[in-house]
Amino acid sequence: MSKDYYKILGVEKGSSKEDIKKAYKKLAKKYHPDISKESNAETKFKEINEAAEVLLDDEKKQRYDTYGSADPQGFGGFGRGNSRSGGFNPSDFGINLDDIFEQFGFGSFGGGNSRNSNQSQKDTSEYIELEISLDDVYFGVKKEIKIKRNKKCKTCDGSGAKTKADLKTCSTCNGSGVVTEIQRSILGAIRTQRPCPNCNGTGNIISNPCEDCFGKGVINEKETIEISIPKGIENGMTLKVSEKGSYNTENKSYGDLYIKIFVKKHKDFEVDESDLYYNLNINFVQATLGDEIEFNHFNKTLSLTIPAGTQPGAILRLKNKGLPHFNYNSYGNLYVKVNVKIPKTTTNKQKEILMEYTKTLKDKSIFDRLKTFFK
């Protein structure tokens, strides 16, 4: 485990979310770069944000506690996780830092103190859901999916202006996208920044907008892309496809596409992570004498030995015959539950055979009772 997030926040591993929030809030007040005078404030603030982002997210925390990482990488451009780009946002986890920063004249948290921080709030990621089969989980699969996203306008190259001459630098902020204000507080003069009201934080003024995108710099288009779904992916996981989100005209880059995976129920198998469960029906003769049973298992046939004297409800394990583990070169197990089916009707010949069998039992009274019953 490269970083101990619990140690960074100063909490125990079993701490509640409320305790984690309190610890984060305390450290945010101490190390926020706009307030703290500590020499390593910026580095420490990034660390506590990273730690809180993982420990307050149930899915990321579970992966971190299990594997030592909240976002295991692999399979080309795919990553596991469901967080949006743009960094940790305390408000997403019910943390209000306004009371800390307002007393120092900073306004509400998240307003930003630079043009870059304003841009980071613009989420250009796209989110979709995709349903796959259990066979897709077992083998992995490539799929073509249709998405809709904002793409850079080719006519104006994303500027939003009809021509280059129609794009002017904002005279209010001189192209920075922010205006600076100086406020007086008990700490002295504090410099703060907010989005420029003249250009809305873009840094530019468009005098004649592009006719194709109407000055937006982007056009919403449909697109078909091919994605690779790795084998072993679990229900509820999220895949990330880099740069298949929408276009950000401010930092001139594409966001990412996040695909949440849902696995369809299988007619034969029940799933628990990488383990499979299968219900097998046999008759009482097979359970008594034993048998060799074959059944379908994805693209092959498995053979299972039923030991003599197998009891109803017994569970037999086939090692490494489950689903592949995500990101690991191993398989889960297949558990077969044996259900012994008792016939509802029998022929006279079958009754005679069973009666003969009762004669061999130690309890001789069973035969007498059955003989009287059938009479």
- CA nearest to 194, candidates 96, 115, 109, 88: 115
Is residue 5 within 8 A of residue 24, CB to CB? The reply is no
**Residue 90 is encoded by which pair of tokens?**
């305390």
Average pLDDT over residues 154-165: 91
Which fold, 1-110?
Helix Hairpins (1.10.287)
Given a cut of 50, whether residue 338 has pLDDT beyond it is yes
Given a cut of 80, whether residue 365 has pLDDT beyond it is no
Instruction: State the Cα–Cα distance between residues 331 and 271, nearest whole angstrom.
Output: 13
Which fold, 125-150+217-264?
HSP40/DNAj peptide-binding domain (2.60.260)
Q: What is the pLDDT of residue 328?
A: 80
Q: Read off the pLDDT band of 122 (50, 70, 90).
A: low
Question: Which alpha helices (H) appear in the chain, and where do they start and end?
Answer: 5-9, 17-31, 41-55, 58-67, 98-101, 115-120, 134-139, 284-289, 348-358, 365-374
Given a cut of 60, whether residue 342 has pLDDT beyond it is yes
Is residue 147 within 8 A of residue 222, CB to CB? The reply is yes
Is residue 52 within 8 A of residue 17, CB to CB? The reply is no
Q: What is the pLDDT of residue 135?
A: 95
Average pLDDT over residues 74-103: 47
Q: What is the DSSP letter of 81?
A: -
Q: What is the pLDDT of residue 242?
A: 93
CATH number of 269-342: 2.60.260.20
Distant-in-sequence, close-in-space partners of 285: CB < 8 Å, separation ≥ 6: none
Q: Is 75 left (phi over 0), alpha (psi -120 to 50) or beta?
A: left
The CATH 1.10.287.110 domain(s) of the chain lie at 1-110
Is residue 199 within 8 A of residue 173, CB to CB? The reply is yes
Instruction: State the Cα–Cα distance between residues 30 and 247, nearest whole angstrom.
Output: 36
The CATH 2.60.260.20 domain(s) of the chain lie at 125-150+217-264, 269-342
DSSP-based three-state secondary structure for 304: strand
